[in-house]
Amino acid sequence: MRTASADDDRDLTNTIGSSPAHHSIEPMALADQANKVIGPGGTGIMALPPGLAEEKSEDMDNTTPQIAILYATDQGSTRDIAEFIADDLTGRGARVALHDIEHAPDLSRFEAVVIGSAIHDMDLLPAASAYIRAHSDELSAARVWLFSVGLGPALRGPVGRRLGRIVPKKIAELRDMISPVEYQAFAGRYERAGVGWKARTIYRLMGGARYGDLRDWVAIRTWSDHVARAVGLPRTATNTVHP
């Protein structure tokens, strides 16, 4: 457990700009440098003739939506959400490539791109911000869905709901730069451990009612369904709302 500092209070007074993951006690990702590629597949009982197998493979590649999911995570909350969306879209038949945004692939072969980042200091994480700015032309021409993970969506009450609807200026600038199909803010994690009394008081006054894992998996799955339907994937028969 880390010791609380004045930075805790200063971060929280930035309201929704401070990511819940900033105070999270989740373990750091150990495999963020690895690229994870998820896609439907399996082995058949009977092998097809070589020519027919190649034709079958080409047909599948031509009809199966290919989706890239890129994420920038602080201590794991955003990565978890990205993996959940990847699993959901894969389960519907898409070929999904899941990558840390610092190791993003060439996007030219993908029909859709999903980008997610934690929020810190009223902005996306530096890796996500830098990537969007460097690839703004390419992303503007693509079908992109953008999500952020911060404190705002978890706030309750009249004041909290009003604050939660605010999109920080720097994030709005990045969003408008690429004109995504849809932008959505999700809550992340906000751990009480190590947070000073002043920060806790401000959090409570802003409408913060609890600590820990604040992610709304029903809302995340609903948003994933928006992406799925937009690229022509079928509805899923399952109702799993938590990884």
Judge whether residue 69 has pLDDT over 50.
yes
> What pLDDT is stored for residue 161 in this prediction?
65
The three state secondary structure string of the chain is CCCCCHHHHHHHCCHHHCCHHHHCCCCCCCCCCCCEEECCCCCCCCCCCHHHHHHHHHHHHHHCCEEEEEEECCCCHHHHHHHHHHHHHHHCCCEEEEEEHHHCCCHHHCCEEEEEEEEECCEECHHHHHHHHHCHHHHHCCCEEEEEEECHHHCCHHHHHHHHCCCCHHHHHHHHHHCCCEEEEEECEECCCCCCHHHHHHHHHHCCCCCEECCCHHHHHHHHHHHHHHCCCCCCCCCCCCC
Give the mean model confidence (pLDDT) for residues 63-82. 94
Residue-wise pLDDT tens digits, 89-107:
999 999 999 999 999 999 9
Mean pLDDT of 34-40: 40
Task: Name all domains of the chain by residue range, CATH numbers in brackets.
Answer: 6-26+60-230 (3.40.50.360)
Confidence class of residue 236 from pLDDT cuts 50, 70 and 90?
confident
> How much is the pLDDT for 188?
76
- CA 69, CA 83: separation in Å to the nearest integer? 9
* pLDDT tens sequence across 166-183: 789 999 999 999 999 999
- Give pLDDT tens digits for 112-136: 999 999 999 889 999 999 999 999 9
pLDDT at 13 over 80: no
Sign of CA dihedral 150, 26, 121, 203: positive
Across the chain, what does the average pLDDT equal?
A: 75
Torsion angle, alpha carbons of 226, 230, 232, 233, to 10: -20
Q: Which of 106-110, 137-141, 161-165 has the lowest mean pLDDT?
A: 161-165
